[in-house]
């Protein structure tokens, strides 16, 4: 179907920039909350997944930046299949066009929170962002784009120097090295003190608020002491904490935190003056929620 809400000249330019017709969806799942997950085959036969998440006033496109991921965060399904390769900037832009085709709408927000670590492929991701934010292409506002990272200091520095107002979200999950390393293996390479320094520099350069994402897991990182560690980590930083409810998938032994533990955790942060929100994940029933994507059929 035609993307009728995109102007004719824009459609013309997009078809010239992407002469090959958009790949056919090989799988499309729609969850009861309206979330759409699509999978399509790339030219080399690999499969990429991306997601459209509708809310009352927003439509967020969640994009992948790599095929698989080699960081293997303990509670994330994407890393289970290992890392295959980086996506190209065309393959990133194609996800947006495919989701526009699927939803018949343009997104209000774009997040790099699909498969892969965007700041490991940042040159390509920045090139895709540069393309979609240009006036003559999609004219998408950079401040409505968020890059989520396990916390690669060199990539955070590159993002700080990138022209535009792209938002940074850091998958923190714990603010002490032992706990974080057990959940986010990248922490064994990029320890918290180095990560915090990179975040401080990013805030100094951009004056933009950083989001810390925390998936609360029962008896793993949801204790009062965990919340106190996080409050200490946030002290003096222009930041806010986004608590994400854990999305289970078939091969995991982790359990979501209880409501009571989550409430106590939030209370500690609020008392310390940390701005905290809770993200209600969508798309769980079709394995489209945070940490559930994996390129398989």
Q: What is the pLDDT of residues 183-233, one digit of tens each?
A: 999 999 999 999 999 999 999 999 999 999 999 999 999 999 999 999 999
pLDDT in the model for residue 50: 96
Which residues are catalytic, by number?
A: 49, 290
pLDDT in the model for residue 24: 80
User: Is residue 34 over pLDDT 80?
Assistant: yes
Q: Give the alpha-carbon dihedral of 63, 69, 73, 78, to 10 degrees.
A: 60
CA–CA distance, 112 with 168 (Å, rounded to integer): 10
Half-sphere exposure of 11 (CA within 13 A, CB side): 12
Q: Maximum CA pair distance of the chain?
A: 56
Predicted confidence band at 16 (pLDDT cuts at 50, 70, 90)? Answer: low
More confident residue, 56 or 195: 195
CA–CA distance, 74 with 223 (Å, rounded to integer): 18
pLDDT in the model for residue 297: 42
Q: To the nearest whole number, what is the mean pLDDT of the chain? A: 90
pLDDT in the model for residue 20: 58
Domain spans in the chain, listed from the N-terminal domain onward: 24-286
Domain 24-286 belongs in CATH node 3.20.20.70: yes
- Joined tokens for residue 245: 């409810």
Mean pLDDT of 15-24: 66
User: Is residue 291 over pLDDT 60?
Assistant: no
pTM: 0.89
pLDDT in the model for residue 283: 60
Whether the Cβ atoms of residue 256 and residue 216 lie closer than 8 Å to each other: yes
pLDDT in the model for residue 293: 54
Query: Within a 10 A sphere around the Cβ of 163, how many other Cβ atoms?
Result: 10
Mean pLDDT of 259-275: 97
Percentage of residues of the chain with pLDDT beyond 70: 89
């Amino acid at each position: 179907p035609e993307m009728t809400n995109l102007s004719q000249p824009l459609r013309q330019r997009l078809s010239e920039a992407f002469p090959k017709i958009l790949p056919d969806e090989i799988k499309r799942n729609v969850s009861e909350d309206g979330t759409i997950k699509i999978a399509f085959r790339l030219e080399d036969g690999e499969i990429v997944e991306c997601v459209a998440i509708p809310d009352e006033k927003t439509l967020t496109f969640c994009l992948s930046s790599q095929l698989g991921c080699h960081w293997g965060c303990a509670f994330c399904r994407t890393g289970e299949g290992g890392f295959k390769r980086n996506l190209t900037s065309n393959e990133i832009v194609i996800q947006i066009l495919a989701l526009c085709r699927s939803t018949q709408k343009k997104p209000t927000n774009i997040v790099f929170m699909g498969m892969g670590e965007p700041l490991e492929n940042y040159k390509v991701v920045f090139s895709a962002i540069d393309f979609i934010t240009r006036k003559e292409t999609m004219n998408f506002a950079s401040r409505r784009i968020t890059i989520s990272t396990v916390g690669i200091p060199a990539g955070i520095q590159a993002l700080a120097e990138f022209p535009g107002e792209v938002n940074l979200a850091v998958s923190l999950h714990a603010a002490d090295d032992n706990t974080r390393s057990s959940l986010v293996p990248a922490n064994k390479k990029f320890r918290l003190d180095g990560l915090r320094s990179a975040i401080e520099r990013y805030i100094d350069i951009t004056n933009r608020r950083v989001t810390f994402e925390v998936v609360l897991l029962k008896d793993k990182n949801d204790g009062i002491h965990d919340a106190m560690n996080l409050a200490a980590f946030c002290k003096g930083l222009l930041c806010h904490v986004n608590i994400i409810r854990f999305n289970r998938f078939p091969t995991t032994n982790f359990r979501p935190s209880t409501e009571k533990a989550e409430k106590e955790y939030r209370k500690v942060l609020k008392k310390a003056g940390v701005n905290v929100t809770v993200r209600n994940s969508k798309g769980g029933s079709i394995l489209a929620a945070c940490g559930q994507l994996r390129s398989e059929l």
